[in-house]
Amino acid sequence: MRIVIGGAGSVGTHLVKMFTESNYDVVVIDNDKEQLQEISSHFDVMTIFGSISSHRILKEAEIGKAKLFIAVSNAQETNILASIIAKKLGAKQTIARIDDSEYLIEQNKKMLTDLGLDSLVYPEILACEEIVSQLKQPGMIKDIHFTSGKLDLFAIRISYSSELAYKNLMEIDKLYPSIIARIVAIKREETTIIPRGKDVVLPEDILYIITDLNGKEEILSIMGIEILDIKNVMILGGSKIGVKVAKALEKSCFVKLFEKSREKSYEVADILKDTLVIHSEARTADFLLDEGISKTDAFIAVTGNSEINMLSCMLAKRLGVKKTIAEIENTDYIDLAKRSEIDYIINKKLIAASNIFTHVMDAEVLSVKYFAETKAQVFEFIVSENSKVAKKPLKDLGFPEQAIIGGVVRDEKPFIAIGDTQLKINDKVVVFSLSGISNELVKWFK
């Protein structure tokens, strides 16, 4: 299957990684030779130097054979034009990255659809949605809802005093027989483990657990993790993400937003009527203490500068903030950031790439979440007619060892998958997997 990617920046590079791991035939177009050389030195792909909106270049990429054309350059108008041209030249499906919400207005979307553009991806909005969703559970590293909130996948760090430490999964099941949940992954230092019954949980491990709402409340109670209401929020950076997050929160929370540019702080204040906008870099402990950070529930750093975001969140955490979220766009810093005290790392480019990835899968996929810290993915599949995964109980399937089926929703009722579970048509299934086996998973569900 041919995938043509227009743009070799961060989003394009991550898409190349995801698609090549799944053995797609990938072509990358860009007018930056250095970026193309960087990609070709790491991945087995065809690269073409030139404009992504050029008829000649698109024909050279054999766009007529492409199942998908993805325009993710930094120029919104170029992405839209290139996608329209690619569709006219035979691409089956086209996706364009945008940075202006006016294109998401229904009548504008319809106009672009009529011209041949199938989907739009706005990374800043996707990042905002993820930040807002993460603010609900201050004690957890990650919390993601699936199947309209009926199933939750969340991550917690195991302390040395935890009752779960030094026990294997079978022992944990016996210890808490009433809890309906499943540990679908263990992150241990640089390794991600898809666990089986005899795998032992160690202190400092991060457990990825899937359960329903009741199960989550029980587990958090056992772990001594307090569920708190987020009412006071500080945001560092008047970026598009910062403004959108503030807009989403300002009706339900008291929000302070700090912006170092005087001119921009006035612009942001005009947009955010219920947010206190302060012209300041807000990078010293004394200043933050004077601004009441000790009473702040969440600190969100989205300046666009990964180093500033990371250091600011570490400082805020040490000053008593319960939940810190840092935008880390420089992927070289992600490993460093996840070893720090920062609760949650956001990378809008990885989020956008994961969103785009769902469009190429032959099986019916409701969502894909890519976890940068684990180099793993979580898929939400719908079981189709004649799907291999519904032929036998799970224990007899020979399902890939690099993946695990965690939860199922059947007729709007959630439950945790066990060895005797046999899936049925139209079941919604949450699957945690290591990267690089998406094509194999598709074969089980399509």
Q: Are β-strands 151-157 and 206-211 bridged in parallel, bridged antiparallel, or unpaired?
A: antiparallel
Q: Please answer whether residues 345 and 333 qualify as being in contact, where contact means their C-beta atoms are separated by less than 8 angstroms.
A: no
**Taking CA 392 as the corner, what is the angle to CA 391 and CA 395, rounded to the nearest 5 degrees?**
145
Average pLDDT over residues 287-313: 92
pLDDT averaged over every residue in the chain: 87
Per-residue pLDDT tens over the stretch 27-70: 999 999 999 999 999 999 999 999 999 999 999 999 999 999 99
* Parts of the chain belonging to CATH 3.40.50.720: 2-121, 229-321
The pLDDT, as a whole number, for residue 292 is 92
Average pLDDT over residues 351-363: 73
Per-residue pLDDT tens over the stretch 58-90: 999 999 999 999 999 999 999 999 999 999 999
**Taking CA 423 as the corner, what is the angle to CA 200 and CA 408, rounded to the nearest 5 degrees?**
60
CATH architecture for residues 2-121: 3-Layer(aba) Sandwich (3.40)
The pLDDT, as a whole number, for residue 227 is 67
More reliable by pLDDT, 303 or 434: 303
More reliable by pLDDT, 332 or 304: 304
Question: 97-103 — which CB contacts under 8 Å span 24+ positions?
Answer: 97/7, 97/11, 97/71, 97/72, 97/73, 97/121, 97/122, 97/123, 97/352, 98/122, 99/123, 99/124, 99/240, 100/76, 101/125
Highest mean pLDDT among 113-122, 226-235, 239-248: 239-248
Position 299 confidence tier, pLDDT thresholds 50, 70, 90 = very high
* Parts of the chain belonging to CATH 3.30.70.1450: 352-445
Per-residue pLDDT tens over the stretch 274-285: 999 999 988 889
CATH number of 352-445, picked from 3.10.330.10, 3.40.50.720, 3.40.50.1110, 3.30.70.1450: 3.30.70.1450
Per-residue pLDDT tens over the stretch 113-160: 889 899 999 989 989 988 988 886 555 566 677 766 688 888 888 888
In the chain, pLDDT over 70 holds for what percent of residues? 94
Query: What CATH number is given for 229-321 in this structure?
Result: 3.40.50.720
Per-residue pLDDT tens over the stretch 184-219: 889 887 788 888 888 999 988 888 888 887 777 778
Q: Is the pLDDT of residue 362 over 60?
A: no
Distance CA 317, CA 375 (A): 25
Cα→Cα distances 279→22, 63, 246, 298, Å = 47, 48, 15, 19
